[in-house]
Amino acid sequence: MTRKRLGRDFTRLWWANAISNTGDGLILAAGPLLLASLTNDPTLVAGAVFVQRLPWLLFGLVSGALVDRLDRRLLVVVVNVLRGLVVAALTVAIATGTASIPVVYAALFVLGLGETFADNAAGTMVPSVVEPDQLPRAMARLQYVQVIGNGLVAPPIGAALFVVAAALPYGIDAASFVLAALLISFVRVERPRATETSRRRLRTEIAEGLRWLWAHHVVRLLALSLCLMNITLMGALSIYVLYAEQRLGVTGTGYGLLLTAMALGGIPGTVLAPRLIERFGPAVLLRIGLVIETGTHLSLALTRSPWVAGATMALFGVHAAVFTVITASLRHRAVPDELRGRVGSAFMLLVIGGVSLGALFGGFVARLFGIVAPFWAAFAVMTLLTIGAWRRFGSIPHDRVEQLDSRSQ
């Protein structure tokens, strides 16, 4: 049976994501290398992740309420152009030798602030341009381009470009923001329906989104689980560049290749995710994901071989791609359109909050107990989460999650 096409608007959204993710992928490798060139302090290196995610903790809920009020497409376009200007300014600072930890931190904070609005608004656009039954396929395609651009192609190129000219990957990233904004401007998507929402206080609207998330047991379970998983994951990955250099003995290019290994695993993960979800259902796959993530931390804690680390990251990439498609599809199908911005921001507050706390956790633990300690701590926490969430993940239905009673506990 022929599948229904996802449409031109999704194609434009896909290309915008492809360009933006490629630019971000350059910085995924070049960013830690820039920080490592400015300081050897693992706390300062890991702190960069916290600074970039801090706006989610401070303004995430407000951004969600505004996303449900404003023209989502216009919001993404304007914020992407502004983010491009910020990265362009950072490019000049690097090229002129005036970049420093405070300068990088300031740029990361502003970029993170823009991300709270742009990513939230862009996420709400996907269910508006595809049918509900197309969401797993649409999310898999978006995840696929993220894996290819952000993880596979761009990181080794970003690391190589940084060696040639430190400012070059940042200049390309600045241009990618502007090109993505141009493509998004042609996506046709309806504005949020005009309701009494625009006349209510932001505090009331934010509370409504929080109540909805907490009352819906599937969305709540996913949000809390991802929060803990991100604490452990970012606790390890926030110092991964130092781990790669000090524990595995690889160079900057080798670090980029380790990130590429994770992306290589993500390719089959994103390609197979829709079929795996249809065949086995989300509950089975989410449980398998818990086991793989727990084993990932154990493997990285034990090994000194870059080959073993690379293989481990490749398997993790498969899991991460499938896990992301499942959680995004379940959330988008469950949340009503008029609440997507607010519930999405509340969801991301927990998810990004885990990233931020994990970055701080990883830096301090590595500084106090050594570069491998964050991986051992992550293994311990993930073991407890796997035991605690195993039965609850089994209660997630195979499909029709949008028809779940949101008041059920």
304, two tokens: 């000194």
What's the chain's average pLDDT?
Answer: 84
Using CA atoms, how far residue 139 sits from 222, 271, 291, 375, 401, in Å, is 16, 11, 23, 30, 16
C-alpha span between 270 and 49 (Å, rounded): 26
Using alpha carbons, select from 332, 333, 329, 331 the residue that is nearest to residue 402: 333
- pTM of the predicted structure, to 2 decimals: 0.72
**Higher-pLDDT residue of 135, 239:** 239
Mark out the alpha helices in 185-281 (DSSP H runs): 202-215, 217-237, 240-246, 252-280
Give the number of other CB atoms < 10 A from CB of residue 313: 26
Q: Which of 29-33, 49-53, 303-307, 399-403 has the lowest mean pLDDT?
A: 399-403
92, two tokens: 């000049």
Query: What integer is the mean pLDDT of 226-245?
Result: 90
Q: What is the pLDDT of residue 152?
A: 65
Query: What integer is the mean pLDDT of 344-356?
Result: 84
Sign of CA dihedral 163, 80, 239, 268: negative
Percent of the chain at pLDDT > 70 equals 92
- 374-405 tens-digit pLDDT: 999 999 999 999 999 998 888 777 654 444 44
C-alpha span between 98 and 134 (Å, rounded): 48
Query: What integer is the mean pLDDT of 100-105?
Result: 90
Confidence label for 90 from pLDDT (cuts 50, 70 and 90): very high
Query: What integer is the mean pLDDT of 105-114?
Result: 87
Q: Which of 4-18, 271-285, 334-348, 394-408 has the lowest mean pLDDT?
A: 394-408
C-alpha span between 352 and 176 (Å, rounded): 23
Helix or strand holding residue 179 (H, E): helix 168-184
113, two tokens: 């602030």
Q: For residue 3, is pLDDT > 60?
A: no
Using alpha carbons, select from 209, 162, 242 the residue that is nearest to residue 67: 209
The DSSP call for residue 162 is H
Q: What is the pLDDT of residue 168?
A: 93
Give the number of other CB atoms < 10 A from CB of residue 231: 24
Q: For residue 407, is pLDDT > 70?
A: no
**Higher-pLDDT residue of 350, 155:** 350
Structure-token match 């005009």, residue found: 194
Query: What integer is the mean pLDDT of 106-133?
Result: 82
Query: What integer is the mean pLDDT of 52-60?
Result: 81
C-alpha span between 389 and 225 (Å, rounded): 8
Helix or strand or coil: residue 100? coil
Q: For residue 372, is pLDDT > 70?
A: yes
Q: For residue 53, is pLDDT > 70?
A: yes
Give residues with Cβ within 8 angstroms of 332, minimum separation 6: 123, 126, 127, 135, 139, 340
CATH of 8-187+202-403, one of 2.60.40.10, 3.40.50.620, 1.20.1250.20, 2.60.120.560: 1.20.1250.20
Residue 398 has φ and ψ, to the nearest 5°, of -65, -40
Sign of CA dihedral 179, 73, 60, 145: negative
| Cα pseudo-dihedral 254, 260, 262, 264, rounded to 10 | -140
Structure-token match 């926490």, residue found: 381
Q: What is the pLDDT of residue 193?
A: 58
- 260-312 tens-digit pLDDT: 788 788 888 888 888 898 888 899 999 999 999 999 999 999 999 999 999 99
Which of 10-19, 30-39, 80-89, 109-118 reaches the highest mean pLDDT? 80-89
Domain boundaries, the chain: 8-187+202-403
Query: What integer is the mean pLDDT of 211-239?
Result: 90
C-alpha span between 343 and 61 (Å, rounded): 9
Would you list the DSSP string of 276-313? HHHHH-HHHHHHHHHHHHHHHHHHHHH---HHHHHHHH
Q: Which residue type occupies 186?
A: F
Q: What is the pLDDT of residue 150?
A: 67
Q: What is the pLDDT of residue 194?
A: 52
Using alpha carbons, select from 401, 409, 236, 232 the residue that is nearest to residue 326: 401
Using alpha carbons, select from 186, 184, 182, 170 the residue that is nearest to residue 85: 170
Q: Which of 141-155, 221-235, 330-344 has the lowest mean pLDDT?
A: 141-155
C-alpha span between 130 and 128 (Å, rounded): 6
Helix or strand or coil: residue 395? coil
Query: What integer is the mean pLDDT of 311-335?
Result: 89
Confidence label for 195 from pLDDT (cuts 50, 70 and 90): low
405, two tokens: 């009673």
Percent of the chain at pLDDT > 90 equals 29
